[in-house]
Structure 1
Amino acid sequence: MSLKLVTFSHAKNFFIRGTIGGKRILESTGTTNRRLAEEYRTKREAEFWQEKLYGTRAVITFADAATAYMKDAPRSAATGRYVDRLVEYFGDTKLSSINNASLRGAYAKILKDAEKAAPSTKKRAVRTPLQAILEFGAIQGWCDRPAFAPISVPTTIKRFLLPEQATALVQHAAPHLQPLFVFLLGTGCRLSEALDLQWKDINLHGARAVVWQKQGRQRHVDLCPAVIRWLSSIELRDGYVFRPEKKTAHGIITGERYHDSGRQYGGQIKNGWAGACHRAGLPGRIREWVPKGQKKAKQAFVPEFTPHDLRHTWASWHYCVHKDLLLLKSDGDWSGINTVTVYAKLMPPVYREDIIKWWSSGPRIVPKT
């Protein structure tokens, strides 16, 4: 039996209805245009017959699999963006036909620098989400498990600050960023955890905070005296702890919270971070470019350090003080001991007393109250 176009009084769009191979079908064409609806009916009828004769593998497209993957479990906003780009490229490509050559084609079309993109960029923006969707499809029986050529990502240098550099960074930061930087240096929290932190999860008297992971898991963080001192300097004690500030003609406006980017943090404090690093004399480079539609070049300081390097700093300080990798793994919430071994030889032992003093008293500046 073939499929037919039908309409219903409660809906504007055309529907297709019928039975193919004993399977009853009723679905919307998504259009009120009869010609487009007829094209949809013809296409879907062919797909249903192909599925009947050759199995589901023959008809499941990448777009179908990607949609099912996103609906299967909560995904981050960043994952959604990566998947959208893949769907735009692969679209109605049969899921079972995607191979290593398809992956290289995706690099060429999706990434700005194509095959010349950094291995970490290829892995993060294309390979990892593509492989996840194919793995999901394989579990459903829609395709074979993916077999891609290995991609080697060079180990990045773990950058860390010396105590005097950390002090200079805080000294030259905007006032609303100073408590945030001290918090990161004193707890080792990820920036995402810090920007999501709320006052209801802080116990200043008990020197403890509760931060939340993107998986919905909580962990308890001890607060050193320096962190408690700087948190106590924050006037607003409701809602989010760390908030953005914007200068206007009418004065400084404090925002409700930093933009929620799905746990992909760093960009929210990009300008403030770069400015603090530059004024503190930390290493970096000057980027120069000509904005589109303009003739005059602009310049911006690009620091070598990133906000995440404050976590590396805390970890290197932690081992310098305690000489205990298991304690570092636990306090820093790392999944394996191998991850933290790199911090064992970063900070020279001569800085141990300086670190203890920093965590006790904080940078040698007075927080504004």
Structure 2
Amino acid sequence: MREKVEDFWKDTPVREITAGAIRQSAIRLYPNAGPATCNRQVIVPTQAIINHAAELDWCPPMQVKRFKVATKVKEPATLEWVEAFAEHASPHLGALCLFMFGTGARISEALAMTWSDINLKSATALIRQTKINDERVAHLPPRVVAALANIPSNHNPDGSVFRYVHRTTARQAWNNAIKRAGIKQLSFHSCRHGFATSLLHAGVDVVTVAENGGWKVVTEVVRTYGHSRTEKSVTDAIFDTNLTQPEKSKNASN
């Protein structure tokens, strides 16, 4: 990616690299790619380089309009879906599904887990978030602890927890389990999606959801996972003083 952008601009003076020129470079470099690829592969890195030069007073800072990307509605896994999947999957594959749903781990993070990262006694897991170059200690709900404990393994500290080396090797088994369970086809990421959506619908505040799921930007949780509920009766909560006015309700009862 970086080499392609560097080769395109070569010795072009910075003053000639305009916002319009950057957008055109994305089209020329990736003529058959979608808007998201053009943004990610060209506009973002080129703008970052220009703005770094601006910090050195070599040129003015620049803002480049991104290509519009159609928002895809991602369907979250539900507890019912996850339980049905686990029932028809092998122990380690079922545990993988429950682990991602219960911790919000990405598939790449889950597959990288070794037994040295898992502490069943304290119900915690060290998750290395390579996507954002960070790590977090996740709580393991009891259902996840039980699933991990039931994986047939000698629990070699350096051994892979879920056995699969890469998502491509796990996908076929994943799809087969879905067919056996007779449930809707969902992706690995639907479990992470379900983690966020389930907590938000349970009334957990978005900051806590972001912290426990490893999101650096809180607004990303709202934008991506904050789906509205379908049942209209949810507005009954307005008149439930135990939810909306806990202090006043408590004082009145005293």
**Alignment TM class, shorter chain as reference:** 0.7 to 0.9
SS in 1 for 2:105: coil
Q: CA deviation at 1:339?
A: 3.4
Name the CA shift for 1:282/1:227 in 2 (closer, same or farther; >3 Å).
Answer: same
From 46, 51, 54, the equivalent of 1:130 is: 46
Give yes or no for the alignment of 1:84 onto 2:40: no
The TM-score with structure 1 as length reference comes to: 0.52
- Contact 1:208 1:223 (C-alpha < 8 Å) held by counterparts: yes
Structure showing greater Rg: 1
What is the alpha-carbon distance in structure 1 between the residues aligned to residue 181 and residue 30 of structure 2?
34
Aligned residue pairs, count: 227
Q: CA deviation at 1:268?
A: 5.8
Which residue is equivalent to 2:137?
Answer: 220
What is the alpha-carbon distance in structure 2 between the residues aligned to residue 109 and residue 173 of structure 1?
46
What does residue range 172-191 of structure 1 map to in structure 2 within 5 Å? 172-173=88-89, 176-191=92-107
From 141, 163, 167, the equivalent of 1:243 is: 163
Higher relative contact order (CA 8 A, sep 6+): 2
Higher strand share: 1
What is the alpha-carbon distance in structure 2 between the residues aligned to residue 100 and residue 218 of structure 1?
36
Give yes or no for the alignment of 1:209 onto 2:125: yes
What is the alpha-carbon distance in structure 2 between the residues aligned to residue 185 and residue 349 of structure 1?
26
What is the alpha-carbon distance in structure 2 between the residues aligned to residue 91 and residue 179 of structure 1?
50
Which residue is equivalent to 1:105?
Answer: 24
Gaps of 5+ in 1: 1-81, 245-257, 260-265, 284-302, 351-369
What is the alpha-carbon distance in structure 2 between the residues aligned to residue 153 and residue 144 of structure 1?
27
Amino acid at match of 1:168: A
Identity of aligned residues (%): 30
Amino acid at match of 2:195: W
Q: CA deviation at 1:310?
A: 0.9
Amino acid at match of 1:343: G
What is the alpha-carbon distance in structure 2 between the residues aligned to residue 347 and residue 315 of structure 1?
17
Amino acid at match of 2:150: S
Amino acid at match of 2:193: H
Name the CA shift for 1:158/1:137 in 2 (closer, same or farther; >3 Å).
Answer: same
- Contact 1:316 1:347 (C-alpha < 8 Å) held by counterparts: no
What is the alpha-carbon distance in structure 2 between the residues aligned to residue 170 and residue 189 of structure 1?
17
Amino acid at match of 2:149: S
- Contact 2:91 2:147 (C-alpha < 8 Å) held by counterparts: no
Which residue is equivalent to 1:40?
Answer: none
Deviation readout 1:223-245 (Å, 9 max, x if unpaired)? 1112111211230422232322x
Q: C-alpha root-mean-square deviation of aligned residues, in Å?
A: 3.2
